[in-house]
Amino acid sequence: MSDKTANRKPTGYWSQVARDGKRMGWWFILPTVLLLLFIVVFPLLMQVYLSLTWWTPLDGIPWYRAYEGFIWFEQYGVLLSDGRFWGAIWRTLFFMLVAVPIEFLLGLGLAYLFIDNFPGRKIFYSILLTPMMVVPAVVGLMFFLLFQGTGPINDNLGLPATFSWLTDVNRAMIAVIIADIWQWTPLMFLILLAGMLGVPPDQLLAAKLLGGSNWQNFFKIILPRIKTVVIIVIVLRSVESFKVFDLIYIMTKGGPGVQTQTISIYLYKLTFGDLEWAYVAAIGLTILFVLSVIAARGLSYMARKRS
């Protein structure tokens, strides 16, 4: 692919031409690089700087004079003993570790049903994909409406209107997880199905003729063949569910109390409720650092596996 051009060693006239091409290539890349510098390098430096102060926009001091409140790593010390922070991290992980596996299993099962053709397959396929295209904020609204005490879920389940979901200490988390599963199982379904359709059909047929049961086919042939796809979807969904905000914020605002307060919602409340921007910067940097380490580890692991 790209190596094809990169590795070709042009000579004489063609090297001149290739040089012209590369020059244009750099012009093509320049805007993107500038944009990345603008949004990564400068903000990152600013975030490091702010996280070492107690600056808040409330003081009326502009950000570049935040050094007046320089306190070294005190914010990071606060973070370590901040119960609300660790609670939010724990709830985010809980949310992720419950929602993603359920989405995966449901998506896997559904995808398996759609390998073979059956009447109406195309229509059902389109319908089942719809949830992931709906704006997440709107999904939040839909489930907010459904989970009202006087909403249809209670009515269908024969529960009284006083049976609350979104304002109940235990059930609020269940409700937001259900909403997340509703929205993102289709993504698992879509991608896993694409992976399964890539398994050569003759292989499945051969296995069937040799007397393999459906279960055996599934576990011995399909699953090993789509291993990469499985890793991709799980990483993809884990990253996204760690970021979750829209859905929960619209359904419960993180409540009742802090029962559904994930890390994004906690940061949002610190940003706009308490205006503790320096502290948010410190938390943000910590998250940035941890996620980068995990990502780097993951990438090197994959590279090692491939070689």
Partner 1 sequence: MKTLSSALVLKYFFVLLATGVVLYPLIWMTTMAFKPYPEWTTVSGLSWLPLNPTLQNFEFIFYGKAEGLVVSLDRTIAGPLTASLITSIFGTIIAVVFGTLSSYAVVRFGLAQSLPLSVLQLRLFPPLAVMIPVMVMWAFIGAVDTWWGLSLIYGIVTLPFAFWLMKTFFEEVPIEIEDAARVCGCSYWRVFYKIALPIVKPGLATCALFVFILNWSDYLLALLLTQKEWVTLPVYMATLTSAMGGQMYGMKAALGVIAAIPPVVFGLMIQKHLVRGLTFGALKQ
Query: How far is 63 from 76, CA to CA, in rounded Å?
Result: 19
Q: Quick check: bond before 256 cis, omega within 30?
A: yes
185, 110 contact by CB (below 8 A): yes
Q: How many CB atoms lie within 10 A of CB 200?
A: 10
Query: How far is 188 from 236, CA to CA, in rounded Å?
Result: 10
CA 302 from centre of chain: 19
Question: What stretch of H or E contains 292?
Answer: helix 277-306
Nearest approach in angstroms of CB 63 to partner 1 is 5
The SS3 call for residue 53 is strand
Nearest approach in angstroms of CB 167 to partner 1 is 13
Nearest approach in angstroms of CB 55 to partner 1 is 10
Query: How far is 159 from 178, CA to CA, in rounded Å?
Result: 18
Rg of the chain, C-alpha, whole Å: 25
Nearest approach in angstroms of CB 259 to partner 1 is 19
Cα distances (Å, whole numbers) of residue 304 to 100, 127, 298? 26, 40, 10
Nearest approach in angstroms of CB 285 to partner 1 is 8
Query: How far is 243 from 15, CA to CA, in rounded Å?
Result: 47
β-bridge mates for residue 70, sequence order: 53
Nearest approach in angstroms of CB 220 to partner 1 is 19
Nearest approach in angstroms of CB 21 to partner 1 is 5
